[in-house]
Chain A
Amino acid sequence: MGIRFVLMVNKQGQTRLAQYYEYLTLEERRTLEGEIVRKCLARNEQQCSFVEHRTYKIVYRRYASLFFLVGVDNEENELAILEFIHLLVETMDRHFGNVCELDIMFHLEKAHFMLEEMVMNGCVVETSKANILAPIQLMDKTS
């Protein structure tokens, strides 16, 4: 319900982060990612950020070299999801400081932790950056 999956894909089409909130086999995931990424990468700046694919909508936005794609149900508010994507980027930015694609790649588990704090079972849980980053900062301090 709500959010079905969150993907971060670079301009060459390589997946940098993938979090699914519904069950799909490995094969299905690969085909899905291939199709969606091709559709989104082919669009230019002027076109709108919402793509319809099968039974759900993809909301995407490009930040530098990375595409953030969120797959949602048809009833979801797309503009709110755009805001959510922006919030995610800002949170990561606050933690990593000037986040870039390599940061996400090399600290994949931290990116996952952040996403986990924000979204659970397809719903947005927490929108305050301080609250999201608190456990992660705690963990960094102890380890």
Chain B
Amino acid sequence: MNPFSSGTRLRDMIRAIRACKTAAEERAVVRKECASIRAAVSDNDNDYRHRNLAKLMFIHMLGYPTHFGQMECLKLIAAPGFPEKRIGYLGLMLLLDERQEVLMLVTNSLKQDLNHTNQYIVGLALCALGNICSAEMARDLAPEVERLLQFRDPNIRKKAALCSIRIIKKVPDLAENFVNPVVSLLKEKHHGVLLTGIQLCTDLCNHSEEALEYFRKKCMEGLVKVLKDVVNSPYAPEYDISGIADPFLHIRLLRLLRVLGHGDADASDSMSDILAQVATKTESNKNAGNAILYECVETIMSIEDVSGLRVLAINILGRFLSNRDNNIRYVALNMLMKAVSVDDQAVQRHRTTILECVKDSDASIRKRALELVYLLVNESNVKALTKELIDYLQVSDQDFKGDLTAKICTIVEKLSPDKIWYIDQMLKVLSEAGNHVKDEVWHALIVVITNASNLHGYTVRSLYKAIQKSADQEILVRVAIWCIGEYGDMLVNNIGMLNLEDPITVTENDAVDVVEIAIKRHTSDLTTRAMCLIALLKLSSRFPSCSQRIKDIVTQSKGSLLLELQQRSIEIDSIIVKHQNIRSALVERMPVLDEATFSGRKAGSILSAAVSASLSSTNGAATSTAAPLVDLLDLGADESAAAAPTSGANFLQDLLDVGTSSYSSQSGTSQAQKSGNDVLLDLLSIGSPPPQNTSSAPDILSLTEDNKTLVSPLDGLSLATGPSVQASSTAMIDLLDGFGPSPPPTKDNGPAYPPIVAFESSSLRLMFNFSKQPGSPQATQMEANFTNKSSDVYTNFIFQAAVPKFLQLHLEPASSNTLPGNGNGSITQKLRVTNSQHGKKSIVMRIRISYKLNNEDVLEEGQISNFPRDL
């Protein structure tokens, strides 16, 4: 006989599974069992059905799929005997869940069982219903459950009460039916029924306002009396747990009182006595007692303030905090976090204990304590607390360092009383845990540094000292390199000394040494090396004597395999060698970064367009990321959502000469060129002056800033067509030598495409002309032509466009923004679209045109899908 036939008893199967040594064996055994069970199921075998189901449940617990057993459950439930029903319902609850349709079939059996004479079967049915019913089942069977709420047997009543909770959750409309029966439930003597009645009451209160009011009026005294009885009750062996009679009931009652008393002064008054009694009388040397005290404290905190109770509560928490049991301390810390919002002073008293907890060996307690400290910090204690935290930073574990660093940085940023302290603390943090510091933080640090002009000398000297000691912290190196580049002359000549500094002698060569070490170290990443190169450029202008040495260092990077470094080093090299006359102008001191602007950007505000105008002019062209028109962007919306916060980062990147691929892959190369080019372009005022920010149609999906002053040689440096570096440098050198725009190379048109009428309304017509360059089939140059069909003049004409993700769009400034009427003139605007799915998908575009007509704003929107197919 097959040893795994359905005759196997549960325990034999378990033994067999336990005897397996490997997972594969176990799977084999389980598979055999499942096969035999399946055979038994299809045979409709009556005798062993409940045994099979028990086996199935075990197998399910191990994690194997068991859906073939679901019908078995149903058959078992329909069987007359109690053991079969028991197993059937158990199987039902374990193997099925409310989303299965099979559940509907059970509804009828459940209904019959709910009306059964045997109360245990009724109990079973209620249990199953309470655990697993779906909304339809709830609706069907709710009347039965209501009736059972008044059944003679208390066990049934309690189960019916819990079942009602689930029904209410599934079908909120039925809640009103249950409000009345609950009142009688709350007067019960039987603890089980009382417990569930209270639970039901709490749920009803959470569910609706009227129920809450009703219960407040009717049941307050009753509940307080019940609690008093329970607290004062004599020893009851049934419900006694370590000397306290039924702590679960205590806790439930307290929770209900919390819900009732929250926000209501009268209710809070009536319960204040009993709360005080519980708080003082309960013994706290056992866990049960502590549990009750915890709940009591939580209740006191949530109800309206009654004199003295709050003080009592915080004292209890203080006692908890000094308890040696970790569980209690954890719970106390948790509570204190909520208490801080209520009563800050009292919690401050326990500050030292909390600080001790930050250094505890238990990870949960550390985390909680750190959060609590963060909530406690304010202007008066920030210096002491920060000092403690930074000291601890040196000895903390790696995984905790990340959290700790983030918190310290936020505290320092928000509450620093003066700049010098801020810079000091940040330097310490960077030296200790620089690698955990986030990008926004060190950007913010640099903003602050530029703003504190009297501290420049001090800062750069401190950084110099710091980097000698802990040169392995990447972020520290970056900040130091940037400052040394900027303020190198202050470093060498000891300018701007503060009283508390000792003089140090740093020669020019020393400064260059530091940068050289940073660039050569193999652990430095791309951003750091790129920053080093720019710093070297600045130093070569500030320390002319070291030019040759700097040139040598830069030359070594010319052959780097990373495009960014190669390009920068070549550009810098050519500046040093050929263009000394403009070099000093190039690398003048950075303009002071406006802190308000920066924090506004950091908050991800998209309204930065207006703010960008306030930037100093040397960076004029940089930042018309002008409102990337998120609302227009239902195509590719997440691109722009990513664009908005990174636009803040982008802005700062430009100024920090850090525009590398670390920020977003798309903008990688273009940003790089931009940061190199921006400074040049602006100072050289090449080509047309930087356009007025507001009127030009902004770029949308592609994160490149639209270089409006792009002259065609630089056109070739754009995203999609990856130029060779040599080509870009020659283009730039031509630019520099020429000092003027070279004539755009004639674009010979590739295959000709007929112009299309893209958009036409009663007042406006838009036509597109196309041209392609022969070498790049994916890029299309388009010229948009707007004509006015009405007789009025349109002013403030703005055209905006959005494209799906597989396309990239470049818009150039329009020829004008006034459109005279009757087709007397037209506005033209050039666009360039790059189709990464060229050949597979055609171009689609959504447009929005806004203009002013007789001083009223008009908005027109449309979608263009009639682009030629192979564009």
Contact = CB atoms under 8 A, between A and B. Distances in A.
Nearest to B293: A79
Nearest to B206: A1
Nearest to B196: A125
Interface in A92-143: 105-106, 108-109, 112-113, 116, 120-121, 123-131, 135, 138-139, 142-143
B238 interface: yes
Interface stretch (B57-65, B415-423, B507-515, B836-844): B57-65
Contact of A46 (B99, B127, B362): B362
Q: For A51, A79, A131, which residue has the most chain B Cβ atoms within 10 angstroms?
A: A79
Contacts of B241: 83, 86-87
Contacts of A138: 120
Interface stretch (B322-330, B341-349, B851-859): B322-330
Contacts of B90: 109, 112-113, 116
Instruction: Name the interface size band of chain A.
Output: 35 or more
B77 to A, nearest CB: 15
Contacts of B192: 125-128, 131
A130 to B, nearest CB: 6
A29 interface: yes
Contacts of A78: 327, 330-331
A136 to B, nearest CB: 10
B122 to A, nearest CB: 12
A64 interface: no
A49 B131 CA distance: 27
B196 A113 contact: no
A131 B236 CA distance: 14
A48 B330 contact: yes
A56 interface: no
A128 B245 CA distance: 11
A90 to B, nearest CB: 9
Contacts of A116: 90, 93, 127, 131
A123 B166 CA distance: 11
Interface string A26-53: 1001100000000000000011111110
B162 to A, nearest CB: 5
Contact of A82 (B63, B99, B196, B327): B327
Given A18-B61, A21-B131, A135-B120, A125 B86 contact: no
B159 A83 contact: no
A130 B238 contact: yes
A50 B291 CA distance: 14
A13 to B, nearest CB: 12
A135 B83 CA distance: 11
Contacts of A1: 169
Contacts of A82: 287, 291, 327
Given A106-B14, A139-B86, A48 B329 contact: yes
A115 B329 CA distance: 30
B195 interface: yes
Contacts of A124: 195, 248
A17 interface: yes
Contacts of A123: 162, 165, 196, 199
A107 B97 CA distance: 23
B576 interface: no
A120 B326 contact: no
Contact of A142 (B82, B255, B328): B82
A79 B327 contact: yes
B86 A113 contact: yes
Contacts of A77: 251, 255, 291, 294-295, 298
A105 B57 CA distance: 12
A106 B11 contact: yes
Given A21-B131, A108-B57, A121 B162 contact: yes
A30 B326 contact: no
Contacts of A79: 287-288, 290-291, 294, 327-328, 331
A84 interface: yes
Contacts of B294: 77, 79
B178 to A, nearest CB: 15
A48 B199 contact: no
A129 to B, nearest CB: 8
Given A77-B295, A80-B295, A46 B195 contact: no
B485 interface: no
Interface string B224-246: 00000000000000110100001
Nearest to A129: B238
A67 B82 CA distance: 32
A128 B120 contact: no
B158 A126 contact: yes
Interface string B95-108: 00111000000000
B287 A127 contact: no
B364 interface: yes
A87 B87 CA distance: 24
A125 B770 CA distance: 75
A84 B93 CA distance: 22
Interface string B362-404: 1111010000000000000000000000000000000000000
A78 to B, nearest CB: 6
Contacts of B61: 15, 17-18, 108
A135 B61 CA distance: 24
A108 B162 contact: no
Contacts of B166: 121
A112 B93 CA distance: 10
A112 B757 CA distance: 73
Contact of B155 (A109, A129, A131): A131
Contact of B162 (A125, A131, A142): A125
B318 interface: no
Interface string B27-57: 0000000000000000000000000001001
A122 B829 CA distance: 65
Given A46-B326, A80-B247, A123-B162, A23 B239 contact: no
Given A106-B14, A127-B246, A135-B123, A23 B155 contact: no
Contacts of B162: 120-121, 123, 125
A127 B195 contact: yes
Given A50-B330, A77-B291, A143 B362 contact: no
A119 to B, nearest CB: 9
A83 B243 CA distance: 13
Nearest to A29: B63
B361 interface: yes
B659 interface: no
Contacts of A80: 247-248, 251, 291, 295
Q: For A87, A112, A113, which residue has the most chain B Cβ atoms within 10 angstroms?
A: A112
B484 to A, nearest CB: 44
Given A29-B63, A48-B327, A79-B290, A125 B159 contact: yes
Contact of B362 (A30, A47, A86, A105): A47
Contacts of A30: 63
A143 B248 contact: no
B488 interface: no
Interface of A: 1, 15, 17-19, 21, 23, 26, 29-30, 46-52, 77-80, 82-84, 86-87, 105-106, 108-109, 112-113, 116, 120-121, 123-131, 135, 138-139, 142-143
29 contacts: A1-B169, A23-B99, A29-B63, A30-B63, A46-B326, A47-B326, A48-B364, A77-B291, A77-B294, A80-B247, A83-B287, A86-B241, A87-B241, A105-B14, A108-B10, A108-B54, A108-B58, A109-B90, A120-B127, A120-B131, A125-B158, A125-B159, A126-B195, A127-B249, A128-B238, A129-B238, A130-B238, A142-B82, A142-B83
Q: Closest 7 A-B residue pairs measured CB to CB?
A: A48-B326, A79-B291, A47-B362, A120-B162, A23-B97, A80-B291, A48-B327
Interface of B: 10-11, 14, 54, 57-58, 61-63, 65, 82-83, 86-87, 90, 93-94, 97-99, 120, 123, 127, 130-131, 155, 158-159, 162-163, 165-166, 169, 191-192, 195-196, 199, 238-239, 241, 246-249, 251, 255, 287-288, 290-291, 294-295, 298, 325-331, 361-365, 367
